[in-house]
Chains A and B, each alone.
Chain A
Amino acid sequence: MLRNFMRKYDVTDIVMWLIGLGLLLVVLWGSYKTLFVIQKYESSVWLDFFIFGLAQGSVYALIALGYTLVYGILFMINFAHGEVFTGGVFTAYFVAIAMERSGFIERHWVLALLILMAIAMTVSVAIAVLLERIAYRPLRGAPRLVPLITAIGASFFLQYTYRGIYGSGVKTYPDFPALDGKLNLLGREWPILTTQALVIVVAALMMVFLYWYVQKTKAGKAMRAVAEDKEAAALMGIDVDQVIVNTFALGGAMAGVAGILYALLFKQVNAFMGFIPGIKAFTAAVLGGIGNVPGAMLGGLFLGIVESLGPSLILDGLGIPAPYQLKDAIAFTLLVLVLIFRPTGILGERLSEKKA
């Protein structure tokens, strides 16, 4: 009987399932201890964790869209996308400082925010489009490893360019006094910080816009057509190169907005700030199923929430002294687990076999 069993399942499969089962037990045991034994946190704290997770997840989701859109069309991971994100928010920083000094932020904060977003979007779009034109298009026919390495090179190039131009220090983003404290709306106070509420709403609007664009507009349909079959799309009269540029631009615009939202949440910028959110967003895109637009949104939110809730929920109960420092470990463990048990991501189709 054992022999039959062994014949049916590979040893690696069994080991994988045991690891999975082990981790699941750790997660359940930790959560149980945290919630029912040590009871360190009240429910309002859990709600705060959740909302913060949602807010940072929205930022991840916006960046993840850039990865997923480009992958959907070119089947390459644009590892310089994190730097597309940095470029916009870092450039807007100098305008933000000027606006703070002149008191403009205090007087017209909505307008100030819109201006900052417009600047960040413009710069990020420009960087993304130039990246495609200079670094990726000449390599269009090359083996898949080549543009990947180029992307990593471009990422370093941009990081050190920002450092050279804008300086190497960490810069503090100006405060928006109007956004301080909890959200006051409809005559009562809500259990959510105004900044977080704003981040979630803006990100949601951007995602709705993007989904509408891809699904309903002619340009969006052309994008999906090119993603599926470039030659057939060209035979319809679609300028494939133009659609690829549009795709990079769209991803850049999302990254630009994400940059400003990130600055609202975390209040600081530096030349290397795009690296970690970039990798996280890439993780989010893979979690959701890379190449899939709703998947990237879902993956981003999911990752943000897991990162925010996970450390306290799972690790506090196990007696780990500084659980929050392990949030990245949890995020990437999640990535590995998804890759093992569901390589196509949460919403992913079986792209890999067809496109490989």
Chain B
Amino acid sequence: MTLLKLDNIHTYYGNIHALKGISIEVDEGEIVTLIGANGAGKSTTLKTISGLLYPRRGKVYLGDKDLTKFRAHEIVKMGVVHVPEGRRVFSRLTVMENLEMGAFTRKDKDGIKKDLQRVFELFPRLEERQTQVAGTLSGGEQQMLAIGRALMSRPHILLLDEPSMGLAPVLVDLIFDTITELNKQGMTILLVEQNALLALKVARRGYVLETGRIVLSGPAQELAENPQVREAYLGGA
């Protein structure tokens, strides 16, 4: 069943035409990845879904609801949560306060407590550091916090923007294992990555973006074997 659907989205930054008719579908329970070079419009696509940007034309559907009519904070309530590029944790708030902010839209105290336990099981490091100010965490820990914080809203779909950026290989593996694990538990994930090889390994399907357009799409396996993709994004190997 299609959970998220983008229908011919056009988004502008001022006069710059950043997305030129993007159509994407994400089914329930899938990992779908958007790959492409810098400036291809990957982050812009995620921002348009989460309401940080408004498309000038086109619609974003969550089930049968049109998300373009809602503002960012309302979209979170509907179960779409966006982990932005560069993590963007609240560096002057403690780890615990960051996680509380993740659960901002919720009122069910018991449920929040349960989800907090779940996040701590997923990332034991965060439990150890819960009273620490987030700005003092390492890059990897901040990425864990950013994902944990997003999970605290109990989303239906997770939009991840460059979760591997700036992380040591060991931590990249850890983050991607977590992504796979979350997906196994039923989470739908739309993943944006520069590291196309890794993204195509965990994803079921993928879309290749180039200067605001989708140039290729298909099952992740096929994309990974496609000579064009290999040359452009996988280092030609």
Tell me if B92 is interfacial: C-beta within 8 Å of chain A: yes
Q: In the complex, what residues of A have CB within 8 A of residue B101's CB?
A: 221-222, 225, 233, 236, 238
A18–B92 Cα gap in the complex (Å)? 37
Question: A42 at interface (Cβ–Cβ under 8 A)?
Answer: no
Residues of B within 8 A of A231 (CB): 52, 72, 84, 88
Contact across chains for B93 and A234 when beta carbons are under 8 A apart: no
* Interface status of A187 (Cβ within 8 A of chain B): no
Residues of A within 8 A of B104 (CB): 218, 222, 236-238
| Interface 1/0 per residue, A218-250 and B, CB below 8 Å | 100110110011011111111110000000000
Closest to A349 in B: B92
Cβ–Cβ < 8 Å partners of A238 in chain B: 73, 101, 104
Q: Which of B36-93 contact A (CB under 8 A)?
A: 50-52, 71-74, 76-77, 81-82, 84, 88-93
Q: Known: A235-B81, A236-B149, A237-B73. Is A228-B92 also a contact (CB below 8 A)?
A: yes
B102 within 8 A of A: yes
Among B77, B81, B91, B104, max chain A CB count under 10 A is at B104
Cβ of B105 under 8 Å from chain A: yes
Nearest residue, chain A, Cβ from B100? A221
Chain A residues within an 8 Å CB radius of B88: 229, 231-232, 235
Nearest residue (CB) in B for A227 is: B92
Q: How far is A224 from B92 in the complex, measured between Cα atoms in Å?
A: 8
Tally of chain B residues near chain A (CB < 8 A)? 26
CB pair A235 B52 closer than 8 Å: yes
Is B143 close to A, CB under 8 A?
no
Task: Select one of B73, B84, B90, B153 contacting A240, CB under 8 A.
Answer: B73
B25 close to chain A: CB less than 8 A = no
Does B141 count as interface, using CB distance less than 8 angstroms?
A: no
Residue of B nearest to A219 (CB): B104
B97 within 8 A of A: yes
| Closest CB in chain A relative to B111 CB, distance in Å | 15
How far apart sit A233 and B92, CA to CA, in the bound complex (Å)? 13
Chain A residue numbers with a CB within 8 Å of B93 are: 221, 224-225, 228
Residue of B nearest to A240 (CB): B73
Alpha-carbon gap, A253 to B82, bound state (A): 35
Return the chain B residue nearest A243 by Cβ. Answer: B73
Cβ 8 A contact of B105, one of A224, A228, A232, A237: A237
In the complex, what residues of B have CB within 8 A of residue A235's CB? 50, 52, 72, 76, 81-82, 84, 88
Q: Which residues of A contact B71 (CB under 8 A)?
A: 234, 239
Q: How far is the CA of A299 from the CA of B82 in the complex (A)?
A: 40
1/0 per position for B123-156, CB-CB distance to A under 8 A?
0000000000000000000000000010001000
CA distance A240 to B104 in the complex (A): 12
Best-surrounded residue of B72, B74, B76, B102 (most CB of chain A within 10 A)? B72
* Contacting residues, chain A, for B102 (C-beta < 8 A): 236
Chain B residue with the shortest CB-CB distance to A234: B72
Q: How far is the CA of A222 from the CA of B97 in the complex (A)?
A: 9
Complex: chain B residue closest to A224, CB-CB:
B93
Check if B76 sits within 8 Å of A237, measured CB to CB: yes
Q: Give complex CA distance A35, B76 in Å.
A: 65
With a CB–CB cut-off of 8 A, which chain A residues contact B72? 231, 234-235
A235-B50, A236-B76 known; A228-B100 Cβ under 8 A: no
Whether A232 and B73, one on each chain, are in contact in the complex, defined by CB atoms closer than 8 angstroms, is no
- Chain B neighbourhood of A228, CB < 8 A: 90-93
Contact B90 A225 (CB under 8 A): yes
B91 closest partner in A (C-beta):
A228
Q: How far does the Cβ of B95 sit from chain A's closest Cβ, in whole Å?
A: 13
- Give A229 to B72 CA distance when docked, in angstroms: 14
Complex: A235 Cα to B52 Cα, angstroms: 8
A108 to B214, CA, bound (A): 75
Closest residue to A221 on the B side, CB-wise?
Answer: B97
CB closest residue in chain A, given B89: A232
Mask: chain A, 95-125; 1 = CB below 8 Å from B; 0 = not: 0000000000000000000000000000000
A222 to B103, CA, bound (A): 11
| A129: min CB distance to chain B, Å | 19
Interface contacts beyond A228-B92, A237-B77: sample of 19 additional A-B pairs, CB < 8 Å, sorted by A = A221-B97, A221-B100, A224-B97, A225-B90, A225-B101, A231-B84, A232-B84, A232-B88, A234-B52, A234-B71, A235-B50, A235-B52, A235-B72, A235-B88, A237-B74, A237-B76, A237-B105, A238-B73, A239-B73
23 contacts between A and B (CB under 8 A): A221-B93, A221-B101, A222-B104, A224-B90, A224-B97, A225-B90, A225-B93, A225-B101, A228-B92, A229-B88, A232-B84, A232-B89, A234-B51, A234-B52, A235-B84, A236-B105, A236-B149, A237-B73, A237-B77, A237-B104, A237-B105, A238-B101, A239-B73
Which residues from chain A sit less than 8 Å from chain B, CB to CB? Answer: 218, 221-222, 224-225, 228-229, 231-240
